[in-house]
Structure 1
Amino acid sequence: MDDHQESLFVRIKLSALSKQEAYDKELVVNVITNSTSDFLHNNVKVLRSRVSKTAWQGISIAVIALVIATLSVTYIDQGHLSINGMIKAQSNNFALWVMDAIPFLFAFWGQYSSTVLAYEASAMVLDQTQVLRDKAENFEKQARHSVTHDLLTDLPNKELFYDRVGQVIISPRGQTEFYILLVEISNYKEISDTLGRNSSDSLIKQISVRLQSAFPAPITIARLENNSFSMLFSNSVSETKVLDLAESIHRVLHDTFFIEQVKLSAHANIGIVRFPVHGTDVDTLVQRAGIALYVAQNSNKGYAVYDSSFDAHSPKQLTLMSELHHAIEKQELQLYFQPKIRVADSTLYGVEALVRWNHPKHGLLFPDQFIPLMERTRLIQGLTCWVIQESFAQCAKWHKEGLDITLSINLSAKDLNNPELPDLISGIKGATGLNPEWIILEITESSIMTDPEAAMEIINRIHGMGFQFSIDDYGTGYSSLSYLKRLPLKELKIDRSFVSDILRDESDAVIVNATINLAHNLGLEVTAEGVEDAEILALLKAEGCDLAQGYHIGKPMPLVEFNHWAKSV
């Protein structure tokens, strides 16, 4: 049995199971409805018996009253009681004639009332049975719909999307290829953490409406998870057309969303796969679309078409993501320290704390191999907390031992969007007895531009405690002079891409010189990264650069090695 036959067999089997399940549900509904109807019919019988009982009680009272009245009349007329006297009383007394009719009136009234109530109860049974049947049918429809559709957006869910892709794969229409696009809203968690679940749900609803209105049938749109959508483009088109579709998705989501009078933007990444080139079954296609999506997160375009070369990294990346949760608990993370010197006299000025992961299988991993993975989850907050705790404690220990140096710590864009960061830093500062003047917090220009107002508020709160800030990798981001003016900065760090070629590239030399002059005019110190030899260091000294770091000065070192190095300089 080949793959297509097996897929067809499985689908037929699932279809039969679905039909059997639907039949069982219908049978249960009918049983419940019939049982309810029988119950109501029993209530009618009880009601009729009660009415009849009441009628017979009335008749009995009337008969007893009639007998008492007859005996009383007989005794009053004749002075004694006898059968003949009672017959004579009944024959001559008009009042007794009226009383004789009362039992018949009670009997007629009881029968009539019981008949009317029985009819009314029967009508109620029919009406209520129909209402219950209608409600049961509606509940059944809703249950079937909710199994295959997302409750929030009413889009097809993961199960229905997989089924539709499978149907296209085995379709006899001669379909030779189709595309799947996996769309992820990358800033969904930040919005949810900041504004709450209701606001993030409102954003997802608006996104689904935009996608449906912009890309109608035959394109199938589904919601797979909290922040991810999938699109099935079953028409046989060129890859260029699909890339244009990806660009269209970015344009559709580019316009501002309004959530409770707050302006938001949705940042999307898109992974693209094609059948049958990238896979011949649903699971493989979706898995490889996820790999393409991961690559798209680090792409300037915001989308990527799957390529087999991506697979070389994907198993390792997936493994690392699953192991990141335990890296801190197992004490696999370690701080390395790279020295910074004063260019004028080559004395030790400070160090930059750099995190490394001593992975038991893959060895020593550098930040660019796992930090991006952490930034996709909330693990980055735990890592930042760990780095700050370890760095503050070590810096305080150095100063206590007489080593008067500054310590630089890198903050990510996720950190500058975390409103709890100032309180976290304040608490650790108090616990370690640290002087804030010993610490320089390094931020990048791009991290500020993600959400400038929120980032500025957090930066100002931390600066109010006495901490200083540095712009890292200056010149590679937005380089906005307006933000340089607003930020409470102590230094600019010139990116190594400009410093390393300063002897060979005149343009790099001009940029370094201009940056140094700009920083000094703003009252800032300048640190040059990537100083790899003595000639570069000499040129930086001639240009008036304040600080330098690089392999010529010292590579990033573990704590014990750095302490030994610091004593030797």
Structure 2
Amino acid sequence: MNVRNGSTSDFLHNNVKVLRSRVSKTAWQGISIAVIALIVATLTVSHLEYGDISVTHLINVQKTNFALWILDVIPFVFAFWGQYSSTVLAYEASAMVMDQTKELRDKADTFEKQARHSITHDLLTDMPNKELFYDRVEQQIVSPRGKVAFSVLLVEVSNYKEISDTLGRNSSDSLIKQVAVRLESAFPPPWTIARLESNTFSLLINQQLTEKQVMELADSVHRVLHDVFYIEQVKLSAQANIGIVHFPQHGTDVDTLVQRAGIALYMAQNSNKGSAVYDPSFDAHSPKQLTLMSELHQSIENQELELFYQPKVRVKDGVLTGAEALVRWNHPKHGLLGPDLFIPLMERSRLIQGLTSWVIQEGFAQCAQWHQEGLDIVLSINLSAKDLNNPELPDLIAGIKGATGINPAWITLEITESSLMTDPDAAMAVINRIHAMGFQFSIDDYGTGYSSLSYLKQLPLKELKIDRSFVSDIVQNESDAVIVNATINLAHNLGLEVTAEGVEDADTLALLKAEGCDIVQGYYLGRPMTKDAFSQWSQEQESPSETGPH
């Protein structure tokens, strides 16, 4: 502290010396002018009174002329006042400079603190975000207290999307803020409350609790969120589900713990209590996917993943125009697994970004190779909701594009309507950056999401895909046929191509052709197949005039 005060004093003293010297210079100029004026006045008075100028006459006028006495005093006044003013102004100017410098430094420190804070905290609620929560769980695991059991709770506001769709995003954001305030006030430090996703909070209980205490804690969360919320004078209730895991009983790393908490959350959604503690017996309530979590980390490293390709055929002439890349897991024990068995688990953790990177790398490279071989098709690649909220995705795609030499016109990136709902602004920013590179987008599973029309007019789309749930029964179900017809007309009016998924028979294909559908895919045209099988299949196609099963 003394050193700092000393340096401040020296800084002030040096500034005063510099400023004082500049002000003093002006003061001396004033003194010089006053002296010259005095001399001129004395000479003039001597000449007027005596008719000439001599030393004797000069002395006499100085003794007898009162006006000259006043002029004699002025240089001394200038000298005194100049020195005094220079000192005061120098100190004031230096102090002002120091104050402004300190203010700028304080603002810079504030901005730096805000930037550091925004990296680890949720912008809407100011709670710790996923990165900070994961870090605190990892610190709890590796710290000397790591041998002490602790618990993690996932709290999901299950009716968040319903509120968002009904009242709009501002209202749903207001609800989340109020939920955050209640949770933070009910569960203060040292426990950690974080917001992981749009409607999901996490609670780290960094102490060992009995099973009864944990369930009582879950009940208290329900009580905290039970009272109604007021959103723009509308009464709303928050419906909460809670998934619970314990360390080390249910996992020894943060990803496994959060994944299994997600499984417990899934079970809680279907229970009367609205809360559940993970148990291995839950595996019996879901296909093999719940037993695969601990193996997901190594699936990419062990090269167990493989891309399959399903043909997309032009309806009017049966020409192969593209393919959709679909990931499969060649599991060493369970055999070939479809994406529905493991991608949802990846999306609950940070593994989905690694999977997306791998799929884009493999898909771009294979598409480039096919074009080199003369197979002119467009490859469709699916992006998840987490991908659209990853600001690094455009740079990732740009890097892989450069490495593989892919032409963006050869790629269509498929997104779902629901993937836009988590953070529409962030998703639109990512989509526009990728589109600026020349890549096209397609809305996948059209009709199963939210706010379809509002986003159709905003997104840079090339294609609209009708979900198989509407296509598979259009021959027998008149309502589905009407929906498909309306969707095709809407897309064409917007200048979009229409692809129908789930074409399983000739009658469905014929009806889609009559309705003006552009492209079809489904088992009737071709099942998903390996890259080698797809290359051979494309060479064995019948003449373009015939469209049928292959």
TM bucket, shorter chain:
0.5 to 0.7
Q: Please tell me whether the aligned partners of residues 327 and 333 of structure 1 are also in contact (alpha carbons under 8 angstroms).
A: yes
Q: Deviations over 1:411-442 (max 9, x none)?
A: 00111011111111111111111110110000
Q: Are residue 502 (structure 1) and residue 471 (structure 2) matched?
A: no
1:249 corresponds to 2:218: no
One-letter identity of the residue aligned with 1:496: R
What is the distance in 2 between the residues matched to 1:453 and 1:221? 34
Contact 2:394 2:430 in 1 (8 A): yes
2:265 aligns with one of 292, 296, 299: 296
Task: Map 1:126-525; keep pairs closer than 5 Å.
Answer: 182-184=153-155, 210-211=182-183, 213=185, 223=192, 227-229=202-204, 246=222, 249=225, 270-271=242-243, 293-297=262-266, 303-305=274-276, 310-312=282-284, 317=289, 319-525=291-497
Q: Distance in 1 between matches of 2:307 and 2:445?
A: 20
1:109 aligned partner: none
Alpha-carbon distance between aligned partners in 1 of 2:278 and 2:230, rounded to the nearest angstrom: 27
The answer to which of 375-384 and 450-459 deviates more is 375-384
Q: Is the alpha carbon distance of 1:509 and 1:328 closer, same or farther for their aligned partners in structure 2, counting shifts above 3 Å?
A: same
- Deviation, structure 1 residue 288: 12
The 8 Å contact of residues 442 and 461 in structure 2, kept in 1 or not, is answered as yes
Alpha-carbon distance, 1:378 to partner: 1.9
Decide whether the 8 Å contact of 2:182 with 2:224 is kept in 1: no
Matched, 1:542 2:514: yes
CA shift at 1:243, angstroms?
8.1
Residue 210 of structure 1 and its aligned partner are, at CA, apart by 2.0
The structural deviation recorded for 1:377 is 2.1
For 1:214 and 1:413, the matched residues in 2 are separated by: 31
**1:527 alignment partner AA:** T
Question: Partner residue of 2:28?
Answer: none
Report if the CA contact (8 A) 1:221-1:229 is conserved.
Answer: no
Q: Provide, for residues 44-69 of structure 1, a one-character-per-residue CA deviation record: whole Å limited to 9, x for no partner.
A: xxxxxxxxxxxxxxxxxxxxxxxxxx
Q: Is the 8 A contact 1:182 1:228 kept in 2?
A: yes
Query: TM-score under structure 2 normalisation?
Result: 0.56
**1:436/1:498 Cα in 2 relative to 1: closer, same or farther (>3 Å)?**
same
Deviation at 1:296, TM superposition (A): 2.8
SS of residue matched to 1:409: strand
When residues 488 and 325 of structure 1 are mapped into structure 2, their CA distance, relative to the original with a 3 A threshold, is same
Kept in 2: contact 1:291–1:314 (CA 8 A): no
Structure 2 counterpart of 1:170 = none
Contact in 1 for aligned 2:152/2:261 (Cα 8 Å): no
Which of residues 511, 524, 546 is equivalent to 1:552?
524
Q: SS at the partner of 2:388?
A: helix
Aligned partners of 1:184 and 1:229 also within 8 Å: no
Whole-Å separation in 1 of the counterparts to 2:223 and 2:314: 48
Question: For 1:519 and 1:399, how far apart are their aligned partners in 2?
Answer: 29
Query: Residue deviations 1:26-57, cap 9 Å, x none?
Result: xxxxxxxxxxxxxxxxxxxxxxxxxxxxxxxx
Gaps of 5+ in 2: 1-132, 158-175, 197-201, 233-237, 251-255, 542-550
The separation in 2 between residues aligned to 1:508 and 1:244, in whole angstroms, is 46
Question: Any unmatched runs of 5+ in structure 1?
Answer: 1-149, 166-179, 187-203, 257-265, 274-278
The aligned residue for residue 498 of structure 2 is 526
Q: Which residue of 2 aligns with 1:27?
A: none
Q: Distance in 2 between matches of 1:485 and 1:205?
A: 30
Describe the shift of the 1:164–1:425 C-alpha distance in structure 2 as closer, same or farther (beyond 3 A).
closer
Using a 3 Å threshold, how does the CA distance of structure 1 residues 465 and 335 change in structure 2: closer, same or farther? same
Which residue identity lines up with residue 265 of structure 2 in the other structure? A
The 1:247/1:409 distance shift into structure 2, 3 A limit, reads farther
Within 2, Cα distance between the matches of 1:253 and 1:380? 34
The letter of the residue matching 1:329 is: E
Tell me the CA shift for residue 562 of structure 1.
0.8
**1:172-208 deviations in Å (ceiling 9; x for gaps):** xxxxxxxx9933479xxxxxxxxxxxxxxxxx99977
2-structure distance, mates of 1:267, 1:463: 38
Task: Answer whether contact 1:293 1:304 (CA < 8 A) is retained.
Answer: no
CA distance in 1 between counterparts of 2:470 and 2:231 reads 36
Cα 1:214–1:371 shift into 2, 3 Å: same
Cα deviation, residue 294, structure 1: 1.5
Conserved 8 A contact 1:351-1:405 = yes
Sequence identity percentage: 65
Residue 251 to residue 453, structure 1, CA distance change in 2 (3 Å): farther
* Corresponding residue for residue 8 of structure 2: none
Shift of 1:350: 0.3
1:501 shift after superposition: 1.0
Q: Which amino acid aligns with 1:543?
A: E
The DSSP-based 3-state class of the residue aligned with 2:182 is helix
Counterparts in 2 of 1:311 and 1:528: CA distance versus 1, 3 Å: same
- Tell me how far apart the structure 2 counterparts of residues 357 and 243 of structure 1 sit (CA, whole Å): 39
Distance 1:209 1:245, change over 3 A: closer
Structure-2 separation of matches of 1:351 and 1:371 = 20
